[in-house]
Structure 1
Amino acid sequence: MKKEQQDLTMGNVSIKLIKFAIPLLAANLIQAFYSIADMLVVGRIVGAVGLAAISNASMICFIINSICIGITMGGTVVVAQYKGAHDEQGQKETVSTLFTVSFIMSIILTITGLLVYKPVFELLNVPAEAMQDACDYMMIICAGTFFVFGYNAVCSIMKGFGDSRSPFIFIAVAAVINIILDLILVGPLGLGTKGAAYATIFSEGMSLIISVIYLRYNSFMFDFKLKSFGIKADKLVAILKVGMPTAVQMVIVNVSYLMITGMLNNFGVSVAAASGIGLKVTTLVGMPCWAIGQAVTAMVGQNMGAHNFQRVQHTTKIGLRFNLMITLAVVLLVLIFAEAIIMLFNPSSPDVIREGVLYLRICCSLNSLVYVAMYTFDSFAIGVGAANIAMCNALLDAVVVRLFMSWLFAFSLDYGFKGIYVGQAISPILPAIVGAIFFYGGKWKQKGLV
C-alpha cells in the first residue's frame, strides 16, 4: 500500500497538486456521470415526471451524503496531519476510530432518512404526479446509506495518506455496474425510477466490497476484523473538530438547495425538471474545482502537520490559479452548447429545454469563478483544521444570500423562477470574500490538530 501513498510535504507543489488531483477528478467525474446516467435513462424512458421525482429525491440524497462526506473528511485531515508529523500510531488509531464512527452514523442516518423523506416531500410540494416515484426512489436509496458511509470512509483515509489512485479504481468499477443496471432495470424490466435507485445502491455496495478486498490484499494497516474496530477519544475529538463543521457546512448548502427545489416546484413539472437537469450540469462543471479543492485539503493537512506554513500558502495559491483557469474553460463550453446539453436529458419537451438553457445561462456563468474562489479557500480552511470558517461561509452562501435573495426576487419582486436562478448565481460572493480575508490574515498558522 505504501507505494500508492505520497509525501505531499516535498517536491514541486504544482506537479504534486495536479498529480494528486487528476485521479480525484476522474473519480468525481465518473461518480457524477453515473448519477447523471440515472437522469438520462429515466428522462428518456419515464419522462418529465421521472426527472422531477429524481430531482426532488436527489436533494435528500445530497443531505445524507453531505453528512457522510463531512464526517469522513475529518478523517482525511487528521490522517494527513499525522502523516505529515510521521506519527504511525496516530494514523492507525485515527483509521480505527473513523471506521467505527462511520458504521454507527450509517445506522442512525438510515433510520432517520426512512422516517423523514415522505414528510419532507410533502413540505416541498413535490408535484402530485411525481410523488410516488420520488418516494419509491428515496426509500431504496436510504437503505443503501451504509455503503455510502463505508466507501467514503475508505476513500477519505486514502486521500489523507496521499493516495488518490485507489478511490478512482473503486468508483470506476461501481460506475460501470451502475450504468449497465440502469439500462436493464429502468427500461427492459420496467422498474422505472425504482430501477435507477436499485442500480445506485447495488453499485455503491460493490464499490465498498471492492475497496475492502483491495486494501486487505495490499497490506493496509487496518485488517477489517472485528477486534480492529474501536474509538480513541482524542482521535474522535480531532475527527469531529473538522468533520462536524464540514458536515454542517455541506448540510446547510444542500438544505438550501432542497428549499430552492421546493420554491421551483411551485412553477410546475417543466421548471422542476429543467432546474434538476441544470443542477446536474453545474455539478459536473464543479468537478475539476472539487478535485483540486480535495487535493488542496490533503496537501495543506500534511504540511500543517509538518509545520511548513510557506508551502501551505503556496499550495492554496496554486490551487486557486488552476481552479480559475479550468473552470473558465468548462463554463465557456457549457454556455456555447447549453441547448444541446439540455436536450441530452429531455429532447422532446420544448418547455424543459427552454427553462434548462435559461438556468445554465444564469447559474453557470461568471458566478462559477466566484464559487471557485470560495471553494478553494474553504478547502484550505478545512485542511488547516479551521472547518468552522467553511461552516460560517456555508451559512453566508446558503441562508443569507441564496435563500433570502431567491425568495426576494421570485416572490416579493415577482420575477418568478428566474429570480430564484439569480439568487443562486450571486450566493458565493460574500463567502469568497470571507475566505480570502482568513487566508491572507495569517491567524490560521495557530491552528492544527496534532
Structure 2
Amino acid sequence: GPFGMKAQGAALATVVSQALSMILCIIYLKRNRFIFDFSLRSFGFDRHKLSLLFKIGLPTMINSISVSVSFLFILALVNTISDIAGSAVGAVGRINAFAILPAIAISSAVSAMVAQNIGANKLDRAVKTMRVGMLLTLAVSSLIFALTQIFPELILGLFLAGSDPNYAQYISDGKAYMRTFSLDYLIVPFQFCFNSLFIGAGHTNFALVNGLLASLLIRIPFCYLFGIVLDLGLTGVGIGAPAASIIASLTALIFFLTGKWKKQRIIMDAELT
C-alpha cells in the first residue's frame, strides 16, 4: 500500500477496523436505548453469571482450539510431502475459512433460537429450528461444494500467479486435496446444527467431547492413514476432514435419539445455585 507497512499495516488495519466496528455498535445500541448504558460504573463481574458463561463458553473455546490444532498437524504432515503441497493445502485452508462462514453463522443462530425455545419449554420448536438450520446450511454448503468441484483451478489460482514456475504442480496438488476435502461441506451442516441444539440445551460438554473425538482421534489419524500409509497422497489427506465430520455427526445423531439432550444440564445447575 501507499504507506509501505506490509504485514504490520495489515495487522494495524485489522485492529483499527475492529475498534471502529465496536464504537459504531456502542453508538447504535445507546441510540436505541439498549438495556446496558456502557458507562464505567455499570461494568462489573457477576460471579454467578460469570460461572455460567464459563460453563457454556469454555468447552466451545477448547473445541475450536482442537480444530485449529488438528489442521496445524495436517499442514505439518503435508509439508513432509513437499513445499508445493504445503502451499496448496494452505491455500485450500484459506478458502475453507471463508467457505465455512455461512455454516458457522447459521449454526450460531440455531443455537440461540434453540436456547430460547427450550427456555420456553417448547422442545418441538427447538428440534424444528435445528432441522431448518440443517436445510439452510446444506443448501449453502452444497453450492460451495459444487463450486469447488467445478472450478478448483480458478479458485486456487487466486493464491498464486500463473507465471510462477511451480504453478502447474501447485494446481495439481490443490485439486487433489480439494476434491476430497470439500466433501466435508456436505456433512458439516448436520454436525454443526446437532451441536447447536446440544449447546442451546446446555450440553456443552458433549459437544466438546464429540469435537475432540473428531479433531484429534479421527481427523489426524485418518489423514495419516490414507495420505501416508495407504500412499494416496493429498487425495487421501483430504479424506480426513469429511471422515471426522461423519463420525461426529453419527455420534451426535445417537445422542439426539437417546433424548438425553432434553435435560437442560447447565441451566438446571444454574437455577439451583
More divergent stretch after superposition (294-303 vs 327-336): 327-336
Indicate the residue corresponding to 1:425 in structure 2: 242
Indicate the residue corresponding to 1:375 in structure 2: 192
Letter of the structure 2 residue corresponding to residue 360 of structure 1: M
Indicate the residue corresponding to 2:146 in structure 1: 332
Partner SS state of residue 177, structure 2 = helix
Q: Using the TM superposition, give the Cα deviation of residue 401 of structure 1 relative to its aligned residue in structure 2, in angstroms.
A: 0.8
CA distance in 2, matches of 1:414, 1:445: 44
Indicate the residue corresponding to 1:307 in structure 2: 121
User: What pairs up with 1:237-386 in 2 under 5 angstroms?
Assistant: 237-348=51-162, 349-365=167-183, 367-386=184-203
8 A contact 2:181–2:242 mirrored in 1: yes
Partner SS state of residue 327, structure 1 = helix
CA distance in 1, matches of 2:152, 2:231: 26
Letter of the structure 2 residue corresponding to residue 373 of structure 1: F
Indicate the residue corresponding to 1:236 in structure 2: 50
C-alpha spacing 1:199/1:326, structure 2 compared with 1 (3 Å): same
Q: Using the TM superposition, give the Cα deviation of residue 207 of structure 1 relative to its aligned residue in structure 2, in angstroms.
A: 1.7
CA distance in 2, matches of 1:354, 1:201: 36
CA RMSD of aligned residues (A): 1.9
Partner SS state of residue 149, structure 2 = helix
Q: Deviations over 1:74-126 (max 9, x none)?
A: xxxxxxxxxxxxxxxxxxxxxxxxxxxxxxxxxxxxxxxxxxxxxxxxxxxxx
User: What pairs up with 1:41-60 in 2 under 5 angstroms?
Assistant: none
8 A contact 1:346–1:353 mirrored in 2: no
Unaligned runs of 5+ in 2: none
Q: Deviations over 1:16-75 (max 9, x none)?
A: xxxxxxxxxxxxxxxxxxxxxxxxxxxxxxxxxxxxxxxxxxxxxxxxxxxxxxxxxxxx
Asked if residue 440 in structure 1 is aligned to residue 240 in structure 2, the reply is no
User: What pairs up with 1:112-191 in 2 under 5 angstroms?
Assistant: 184=1, 188-191=2-5
8 A contact 2:181–2:240 mirrored in 1: no
Asked if residue 225 in structure 1 is aligned to residue 39 in structure 2, the reply is yes
Q: Using the TM superposition, give the Cα deviation of residue 364 of structure 1 relative to its aligned residue in structure 2, in angstroms.
A: 0.6
Indicate the residue corresponding to 1:99 in structure 2: none
CA distance in 2, matches of 1:346, 1:318: 38
C-alpha spacing 1:244/1:329, structure 2 compared with 1 (3 Å): same
CA distance in 2, matches of 1:326, 1:417: 26
CA distance in 2, matches of 1:195, 1:414: 42
8 A contact 1:347–1:353 mirrored in 2: no
CA distance in 2, matches of 1:259, 1:351: 22
Q: Using the TM superposition, give the Cα deviation of residue 260 of structure 1 relative to its aligned residue in structure 2, in angstroms.
A: 1.5
Letter of the structure 2 residue corresponding to residue 303 of structure 1: N
| Count of aligned pairs | 263
CA distance in 1, matches of 2:264, 2:41: 34
CA distance in 2, matches of 1:354, 1:192: 30
Letter of the structure 1 residue corresponding to residue 221 of structure 2: F
Partner SS state of residue 213, structure 1 = helix
**TM score, norm. by length of structure 1:** 0.55
